[in-house]
Structure 1
């Protein structure tokens, strides 16, 4: 399963808010064997949201959009998703009924726009806040508040599944450039994905769906690199 993550918010682009949602979703999806192929941040503009979501929904198995839910002037994510699929926004009876039953909010209590979702959506109820999320075709729309986003994602996590990836890390106390031949030999010897990340030492990651191959590849490399003291 290949997924794209789209985070929405001017404050993310300006650096006023750290984009922890993308990192958390990437880790949780990877844990489920799902490949995150894109992680894109867009401003609070309907056209930008619609363009990116429309492109990604055609290219990937699912698109997860976070941020910009609610009734304020810059909460335009639902507008953008609706535009991406060519559907109108309308009051969602299930979302409004859930808010009335579980939050004690009548329609008159809610700010205009709360509970308004693209036509044909499945509502995702927000147990940590007010603004509901939505599922439309292969698009999942979640809140931007991290606590709300995480809780809502966990409720739909079983809908994201893939082949479990096993991983090992080998640390080499050598320059990355000195390792190139051995990393090439590692790829030739074993059917694994290899990444190298330099710092004070070089971290080499080895990944595969087969844990025995990962273990064997890690042992092979450990015997051929200088380990930190």
Structure 2
């Protein structure tokens, strides 16, 4: 369980969402790692990843999800669907969401001609399409770049390429205050025993996030209680408050661990 402030409450946070696009993710044929990498990257910048959605290669569903996310959060990062095949329709969906046309970007065409030479076939030219008014996102790994329009950044689905593109996205984002994270580890007690003191502390500090993450293994069971906030002094104080509340409730095997789990 977890508790904390909801996204979009006007509390000064900088927020982002990730839109993962592709039938291969939903079918289980491909395991997504991009969400984890984006979350970690944004966290260093003090940007809260507040929501993630996965949608199939269906134009209407991509458009609907994108419009919902870009209206709610400061930034949206999409991954997948910008390749050369018929089901790579992310560019089409982004253009439709913004109500603009697609155009073949001369810089991408020139880059592909240098790489492949000669006449570019229709499949390769699909990767040169960018919504009118969009800017390019550099691809330092291989292949054509991604693009950005409004508060949306469109990146490749291949993890290595996505991470390379992300390095060009970061400097364009407005960062926030970095979140401080601390972990209190409880061993030998279930969530039923720790729920009441954890809830009491969470209610007393609504601007912080407090989450319980159970673990089970050959060496025993328990929970990692993760506290997150932007004020280091408050986080430090709440660690002590939570530890005291747990012990008062009869939970004895309590200790802080690093790094946060």
Provide the TM-score with structure 1 as the length reference: 0.90
Alignment of 1:169-208 (within 5 A): 169-173=183-187, 174-187=189-202, 192-199=208-215, 200-208=221-229
Alignment of 1:84-95 (within 5 A): 84-95=97-108
Match of residue 226 from structure 1: 252
For the structure 1 residues 36 and 105, does the alpha-carbon distance in structure 2 shift closer, same or farther, using more than 3 Å as the test?
same
Aligned equivalents of 1:107, 1:59: Cα separation in 2 = 44
Instruction: Write out the 4+ residue segments of structure 1 that deviate beyond 6 Å after TM superposition.
Output: none
Task: State the aligned residue count.
Answer: 227
* SS in structure 2 at match of 1:104: helix
Task: Report the alpha carbon displacement of residue 106 of structure 1 after superposing the two structures with TM.
Answer: 4.7
Aligned equivalents of 2:70, 2:101: Cα separation in 1 = 18
Q: Does 1:70 align with 2:83?
A: yes
RMSD, matched Cα:
2.1
Aligned equivalents of 1:55, 1:44: Cα separation in 2 = 17
Match of residue 51 from structure 2: 38
Q: Does 1:217 align with 2:238?
A: yes
Aligned equivalents of 1:105, 1:215: Cα separation in 2 = 57
Per mean C-alpha deviation after superposition, the further-off stretch among 192-201 and 38-47 is 192-201
**Aligned to 1:108, which of 119, 128, 137?**
119
Aligned equivalents of 1:105, 1:167: Cα separation in 2 = 48
Q: Could you list the runs of 5+ residues in structure 2 that have no partner in the other structure?
A: 1-13, 216-220, 256-261
Task: Report the alpha carbon displacement of residue 205 of structure 1 after superposing the two structures with TM.
Answer: 0.6
* SS in structure 2 at match of 1:51: helix
Task: Report the alpha carbon displacement of residue 107 of structure 1 after superposing the two structures with TM.
Answer: 7.2
Task: Report the alpha carbon displacement of residue 212 of structure 1 after superposing the two structures with TM.
Answer: 2.3
Aligned equivalents of 2:61, 2:162: Cα separation in 1 = 21
* SS in structure 1 at match of 2:78: strand
Per mean C-alpha deviation after superposition, the further-off stretch among 161-170 and 31-40 is 31-40
Q: Could you list the runs of 5+ residues in structure 1 that have no partner in the other structure?
A: none
For the structure 1 residues 106 and 27, does the alpha-carbon distance in structure 2 shift closer, same or farther, using more than 3 Å as the test?
same
Alpha-carbon contact 2:153-2:169 (below 8 Å) kept: no
For the structure 1 residues 203 and 63, does the alpha-carbon distance in structure 2 shift closer, same or farther, using more than 3 Å as the test?
same
Match of residue 167 from structure 1: 181
* SS in structure 1 at match of 2:93: helix
Task: Report the alpha carbon displacement of residue 52 of structure 1 after superposing the two structures with TM.
Answer: 0.9
Task: Report the alpha carbon displacement of residue 204 of structure 1 after superposing the two structures with TM.
Answer: 0.4
**Aligned to 1:3, which of 16, 20, 24?**
16
Task: Report the alpha carbon displacement of residue 96 of structure 1 after superposing the two structures with TM.
Answer: 2.8
Provide the TM-score with structure 2 as the length reference: 0.80
